[in-house]
């Protein structure tokens, strides 16, 4: 039987074989039905804590969702987890049958894509840290675009001189890129296998292990009501050093 920590992280292979190894009890089946109804009726991805409030006291929500995910494996609709929220999504291999014409949204600029990648891999990251990695000034417009898409959020203030604002990714970012958790972002070996690093890499070059935690880090503090200051202050060189 899989332990509690692994129930949330079932991948396709595990989901396919879970019900073959275990048979849910009648009580667990009842909890599965409740979770299924709650997720189906929710207007947006539903959190585990919210489901726990609707289930009988002492119900094992993690196990009920693991069984339910396994039961939906291979169907036209799958139960999917993003962060700690769950929703039903059409099976990826059926996307061809559901394609439809729609207006193509404006693509992010190169500057915005680079900034988004830095935040995803280095979060929580401050504006100064982003600029140091990119080697150019970060314009207010670039960060505004990322915040407007809902892919980037303000996390807190760094406990450092100037108390700079830190940035991180959101569940909407995970949902758009088809990730269950930020740790699913490709590492250096994955990027090499995809042919993105054909040349010789500089000595000591590496890709950090992406991580994210909704709670503030030890070196962060909550945002107050005071102005955000340098996080959104226009850069004097905006439009010159920043790529469009």
**218: pLDDT strictly greater than 60:** yes
pLDDT in tens, 91-130: 888 888 887 776 666 688 999 999 999 999 988 899 999 9
Measured CA to CA, the distance from residue 150 to residue 168 in angstroms comes to: 11
Q: What's the whole-number mean pLDDT along residues 65-82?
A: 90
**Beta strands 46-47; 152-158: pairing state:** unpaired
What pLDDT score was predicted for residue 8? Answer: 39
What pLDDT score was predicted for residue 104? Answer: 63
Per-residue burial over 37-61, b = 16 or more CB atoms within 10 Å of its CB, e = otherwise? ebbeebeebbebeebbeebeeebbb
Q: What's the whole-number mean pLDDT along residues 52-59?
A: 92
Q: How far is CA 28 from CA 23, 54, 140, in A?
A: 9, 14, 51
Pick the more confident residue, 233 or 97. 97
pLDDT in tens, 4-18: 334 334 455 565 567
In the DSSP assignment, the letter for residue 162 is T
pLDDT in tens, 149-198: 999 999 889 888 888 999 999 999 998 888 888 888 887 777 777 666 66
Q: Give the global pTM.
A: 0.61
Q: How many helices (H) and strands (E) does the chain have?
A: 11, 7
What pLDDT score was predicted for residue 228? Answer: 61
Show the domains of the chain with their CATH numbers: 4-97 (1.10.10.10), 110-231 (1.10.10.10)
């Amino acid at each position: 039987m899989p332990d509690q920590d692994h129930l949330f992280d079932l991948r396709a292979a595990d989901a396919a074989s879970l019900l073959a190894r275990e048979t849910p009890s009648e009580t667990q089946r009842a909890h599965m039905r409740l979770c299924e109804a709650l997720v189906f009726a929710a207007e947006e991805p539903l959190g585990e804590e919210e489901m726990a409030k609707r289930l009988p006291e002492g119900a094992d929500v993690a196990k009920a969702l693991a069984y339910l995910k396994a039961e939906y494996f291979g169907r036209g609709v799958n139960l999917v987890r993003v962060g700690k929220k769950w929703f039903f999504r059409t099976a990826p291999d059926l996307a061809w049958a559901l394609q439809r014409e729609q207006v193509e949204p404006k693509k992010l600029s190169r500057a915005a894509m680079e900034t988004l990648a830095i935040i995803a891999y280095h979060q929580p990251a401050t504006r100064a840290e982003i600029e140091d990695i990119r080697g150019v000034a970060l314009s207010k417009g670039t960060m505004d675009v990322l915040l407007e898409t809902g892919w980037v959020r303000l996390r807190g203030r760094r406990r450092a001189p100037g108390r700079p604002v830190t940035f991180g990714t959101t569940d909407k970012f995970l949902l758009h890129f088809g990730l269950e958790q930020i740790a699913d972002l490709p590492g250096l070996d994955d990027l090499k296998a995809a042919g993105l690093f054909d040349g010789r890499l500089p000595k000591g070059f590496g890709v950090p292990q992406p991580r994210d935690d909704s709670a503030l880090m030890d070196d962060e503090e909550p945002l107050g009501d005071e102005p955000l200051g340098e996080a959104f202050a226009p850069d004097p060189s905006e439009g010159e050093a920043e790529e469009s």
